[in-house]
Amino acid sequence: MLETKFKVALLLIVLAFAALPVMGILRGTTTTPYEDAAPAPDESDLSEHESSSQEVPVHDDMVTIPAGPFLRGTTSGGFDEQPQRSIFLDTFSIDRYEVTNHHYQQFAAATGHRKAGPPSRYAKSIGRMRGANQPIIYVSWDDAAEYCRWKGKRLPTEAEWEKAMRGPDGRLWPWGDQEKPNGANWARVQDGYEVTAPVGTFQMDRSPFGVMDGAGNVMEWVADWYQEAYYKESPDKNPPGPEYGTYRVMRGGAYTTSGVDLRVTSRSKMVPDFRDETIGFRCAASGVFQGDLSTRERT
């Protein structure tokens, strides 16, 4: 009798485990890593973090880059950074800082656009990256472009981004031609920041035009489609970028960056719907920026 009861109990256990996959199917499948498998950081959580830190939000001012030539590319880099050429750009304006959590939160609240949050349940650092003045992360290329449109701006072209960070003299880092391991928020040294830093923290990471954080903190989406040989084929004046492609260009380094891809001439690429804790953006505008469209529409 005891042996029979044991067999029945064992059978019930086996049936219970066998039923788990069926129950999962009936309840529905989980989303892919590129969807919101875990909830995005709640706006109330972000507001609470900002208020508790009493952090005054930085102003999203812009820097005007005057018309003129600059040296694009380098012979010291990869194939897609060559040839080194003089490129002429008309006057444009670019955000001094990477777009922050505070400013992106205003956009999401005003427009109903999806919140910037982890695309998967495996994000580990988001709790330490919600400060008002830390750069926004977990935004796709389309998220970034839509924010810039809301502000009456646009994403910078790849050429505009490079000129804004290098200046007109062709330097490889915002501060000059000599590499400095502690010059930006990278992964190379113990600089006090394991993740992103508030924008503008690293004063050495300041371009000749006064644009901050081009070398480190987060990589940044720009307007262009990626094409490996575009530097060779592009026009010498106001290059618009390729007409189509598979990947969008990202420029600059991130807090995780190390190795040979530190110089601001380095080009990265990614599918436009990708979101990650190392990717943010900043906006630009043609000519001298005339004011925030989102503010004008509210007044």
Rounded to two decimals, the pTM is: 0.81
DSSP per-residue string spanning 208-271 = TT--B-SSSSSEEEEEEEP-TTHHHHS-SBS----S--SSEEEES--TT--TTTTSTT-EEEE-
Cβ-based neighbours of 15, under 8 Å, separated by 6 or more: none
User: What is the model's pLDDT at position 5?
Assistant: 57
- Specify if 282 maps to a domain: yes
Structural domain harbouring 244: 37-298
CATH value at residue 269: 3.90.1580.10
Domain count, the chain: 1
Does any domain span residue 25? no
**Residue 249 domain-assigned?**
yes
pLDDT at 294: 74
* pLDDT tens-place values along the chain, 299 residues long: 545 555 555 555 555 544 443 333 233 322 223 233 333 334 333 333 343 357 899 999 999 999 999 999 999 889 999 999 999 999 999 999 999 999 999 999 999 999 987 755 445 667 889 999 999 999 999 999 999 999 999 999 999 999 999 999 999 999 999 988 899 999 978 888 999 999 999 999 999 999 999 999 999 999 999 999 999 999 999 999 999 999 999 999 999 998 767 899 999 999 999 999 999 999 999 999 987 767 655 43
12 inside domain: no
CA torsion 227-232-236-237 (nearest 10°) is 0
The reply to whether 243 falls in a domain is: yes
Characterise 144 by phi-psi region: left (phi > 0), alpha (psi -120 to 50), beta (else): alpha
Asked if residue 22 is part of any domain, the answer here is no
Residue 244 belongs to a domain = yes
Is 24 part of a structural domain of the chain? no
pLDDT at residue 158 in the model: 98
